[in-house]
Amino acid sequence: MQSMIERTTRAVVAILVASATLPVLAGSAEPASKVFLNGVPTPVYFNDGDSFRVLAGPMKGTRARLAGFNTLESFGPVHQWGDWTARELYYLAKAATWNARQGVWHCTSDLDRDVYGRILWDCPDLVVDQVGKGLAHVMIVGKPSAPPEYLEAQRQAIEARRGIWAKGVPPYILTSTHSASEQWGKGKRPYNRLVSTADGLSLKWLHDDVYESCQNVCFTDVHIDPDRLDAFVARMREAEGIAEIAGEYTDDQLALIVLNYVRFGSPGELIDSGHEKPLAAFLEAALAESALGDIERSDPVCMVYTDFKQRYGSRKLPCLKIGH
């Protein structure tokens, strides 16, 4: 029987062969894919599975960030969880890029740009295709929920153990890492982004850590007995010195504050800055006396940290190169 890595490699090779038939726009060495942008057929170049650059037409040269989903990073073997190796997940990230290049997709946008100058596009047919094949996962930022059809495509992919789900489903996927040594604006804290595999909602892992280039950063999720957690939230509402603060949050918010502290050693981004120290002190004391009972921890999900400027071209770090 073929191993998973052999099957994955064969699938990627097949996609590579197919991608050789993609048309190339005159004057460009980049394979062009057809995408309908607000109804207009337009040639684009997919540099990875969830972003592209427009090759011609009125929006030529503009870059896109596609909403509602995320593919794994394809600049090197940086992801790892469960029994997957970083190289295997790198192959799947590449497969997502080639899969995007094969189809004809339909995207709409109000043409607003993000802080990087990219236009945010909604491409439902591409999302469902990538997620349904297990080449991407649902990711929602700044919205309360993901479209049902996206979550259903992911549910089916997980159930069938397709693509990135073939070796298990972690509670969260680590999608980006940032070091405290990077330049952060006044009042901003460094964070790593985590995305729930249950509902696609993202979570900021706030921290003050300085990472070295090629350092493997790992997250371990926790599970606390729900009844124990509810009882602890009720205790917070009556505790001397903390009850007044607790009164400013809902029960669900307090539960999340507790979980974030156990996960990260910080109550997280939800709280008012003036509440962080007293909450942290209270929670630290509670953990010392095992007030939350037995805490179960998941297997780690990891991502290699690299500065953006060290990911491409002549400055690309050795740890990002296959065969290193």
Q: For the chain, which residues make up each domain, given as ranges?
A: 4-169, 172-213, 222-297
Spatial separation of the C-alpha atoms in residues 233 and 250, rounded to whole Å = 10
Report the first-to-last Cα separation within the chain, whole angstroms. Answer: 28
Spatial CA neighbour of 44 closest among 61, 65, 29: 61
Considering the domain 4-169 in this protein, what is its CATH number?
Answer: 2.40.50.90
Phi-psi region of 161 (alpha: psi -120 to 50; beta: other; left: phi over 0): left
**pLDDT for residue 138:** 98
The answer to whether residues 283 and 292 touch, using CB atoms and an 8 Å cutoff, is no
Per-residue pLDDT, 27: 52
Give 275's DSSP letter. Answer: G
Q: Residue 1's pLDDT is what?
A: 44
pLDDT recorded at residue 102: 95
Reading the chain (324 residues) residue by residue, the pLDDT tens digits are 445 544 554 555 454 444 444 565 555 568 899 999 999 999 999 999 999 999 999 999 999 989 999 999 999 999 999 999 999 999 999 999 999 999 999 999 999 998 889 999 999 999 999 999 999 999 998 888 999 999 999 999 999 999 999 999 999 999 999 999 998 877 788 999 999 999 999 989 989 899 999 999 999 999 999 999 999 999 999 999 899 999 999 999 999 999 999 998 888 777 777 898 899 999 999 999 999 999 999 999 999 999 999 999 999 999 999 864
The reported pLDDT for the residue numbered 17 is 41
Spatial separation of the C-alpha atoms in residues 256 and 251, rounded to whole Å: 9
Q: What span, in angstroms and rounded, lies between the C-alpha atoms of 202 and 219?
A: 14
